[in-house]
Copies of this chain bind each other. A is one copy, B any other.
């Protein structure tokens, strides 16, 4: 190929040794950036962003609802719990994937959220398999609240 002299590939050359390798510790993550006019809106968007990583989100119909209720000890842990609870509702019964998320009650004093997902039960017949979301992380989590515009950043393990 790029050899100055012609190399004849002999049968011995191409005899394959046994496989003596393996792959370990596959890790991957992706950072979600979501925004809105309020923290609630930015968080709603981040939950949909998580679900949109799992499938082609436009294949999900909002025919059903799934409600969650979470509590944190501060804003960051509340954000974590909020996403984690929706992830849990996807990974186990009712295997719910949301096309839209609405925060119904947001108690900033008590760090509590009640939220509703609009969507349906995940089905491989209907929803193309995207990437598995393994976990929500606290890694470099950011919440930037300004008047009229809030940005949130969260890294999820995939």
Q: Which residues of A contact B (CB under 8 A)?
A: 1-3, 7, 9, 13-14, 16-17, 19-36, 41-42, 44-46, 48-49, 52-53, 62-67, 93-94, 96, 99-100, 102, 116, 118, 121, 153, 155, 158
Contact = CB atoms under 8 A, between A and B. Distances in A.
Nearest to A68: B2
A27 B24 contact: no
Contact of A21 (B14, B34, B63): B34
A66 B158 CA distance: 36
B31 A28 contact: no
A33 B9 contact: no
Given A25-B30, A27-B28, A30-B25, A66 B2 contact: yes
Given A1-B64, A100-B14, A29 B27 contact: yes
